[in-house]
Amino acid sequence: MVEKHISEWTTEDKKKANLDNVSKYILYMTLDKNMFNKIKTCTTAKEDWVKLTQLCEEITETKHNKLNVSIQKFDNAKMKLGETLKEIDEWFNSIVIEIPALGKTYCNCEIALKVMRILPRE
């Protein structure tokens, strides 16, 4: 597609360009600096939107993968031989704190039961 020189624009072309500029402005005002830097090379609002959609899908997928790993850590948590209660408390708390930040919650009862299962019978 060959672009017209601005002097050759019709009223319809001017309206479309204005809408595109307004759309880009609205998008840019809602983004933080990091996200803006990822889309600033796009030339139209449509390109901006497509790029943002792709970025958000990647972020959602990454968050889902992190959640799965954290849940596996929680489910497979066991006290290792020679490990102190302080060490267990530190790594288990890091898992318990990480999981809600990724979108899943455990009730206090589930966490307490898991702690009881982690500890050796002795």
| Residue at token pair 């019709």 | 10
CB distance 56 to 38 below 8 Å: no
pLDDT of residue 50: 93
pLDDT of residue 45: 93
Give the closest residue to 56 by CA, choosing from 45, 64, 44.
64
SS3 1: coil
Q: Kind and range of the H or E element at 40?
A: none
pLDDT of residue 21: 93
Region 45-50: mean pLDDT is 93
pLDDT in tens, 90-118: 988 898 898 988 888 888 999 999 988 88
Give the closest residue to 122 by CA, choosing from 73, 74, 77, 83.
83
Does position 1 have pLDDT exceeding 60, yes or no?
no
Instruction: Note the pTM of the prediction, 2 decimals.
Output: 0.55
Where is pLDDT greater, at 48 or 103? Answer: 48
